[in-house]
Chains A and B, each alone.
Chain A
């Protein structure tokens, strides 16, 4: 994680600027989507704009949350466990991106 301070600092703020308006849209859309039944939720996510915005929220959100959680880890954990947690943190972010992108691809293009 060392020698990445400046790029992390910039990416965290750039992603925040994109996530701010995206989050407002997401908040107004996601509660009714989450409480919908299977067919309704699928039809909602199959709409191209919804797919793009949900995908963008998950992918940019994953980048943002990885940096934020890494900051928490290096602040409080000073043992060997730090590197293990930072690695798991990377896996969680990559897994989130893969899961969201793949799921949205299937719903949008495969059905």
Chain B
């Protein structure tokens, strides 16, 4: 893309010229949640390595997990996984050429935000022994 001729080609319009809609937000959130999961899996791999090889590393990971920032990390990971999973189902549905009607896409976008948030509360409650 360095030479002039190649850079004349139009790029896809980016973030700055769109009117805000919930479908746009869901699209960006899909990417951000994917990136959060990427980082989360790498951090969780450190926890796994500690569990397998290095009790001192595990103790450090555990201390972080039990701190307030650690709780925020876990809630963020859980919400991101739930959002990415549910919004991914929208993407799979679109791959079949369905669900593109404006009203449908707007409704499913809201639904994914609401359902991901409610399911996060359930998972966190159950995970911290609320059901036990």
Asked if A20 contacts B88 (CB within 8 A), the reply is: yes
Asked if A31 contacts B52 (CB within 8 A), the reply is: no
- Cβ of A27 under 8 Å from chain B: yes
Asked if B124 contacts A31 (CB within 8 A), the reply is: yes
User: In terms of DSSP, what is the predominant structure of the interface of chain B?
Assistant: helix
Interface range on chain A (Cβ under 8 Å from partner): 35 or more
Q: Which of B41, B85, B92, B126 contacts A13 (CB 8 A)?
A: B92
A-binding segment of B18-26, B29-37, B107-115 = B29-37
Asked if A34 contacts B92 (CB within 8 A), the reply is: no
Q: Which residues on the A side are within 8 Å of B1 (C-beta)?
A: 78-79
Asked if B85 contacts A20 (CB within 8 A), the reply is: yes
- Closest A residue to B123 by beta carbon equals A27
Binding site for A on B (CB under 8 A): 1, 12, 31, 34-35, 37-38, 41-42, 44-45, 47-49, 51-53, 55, 58-59, 62, 65-66, 74, 78, 81-82, 85, 88-89, 91-92, 95, 123-124, 126-129
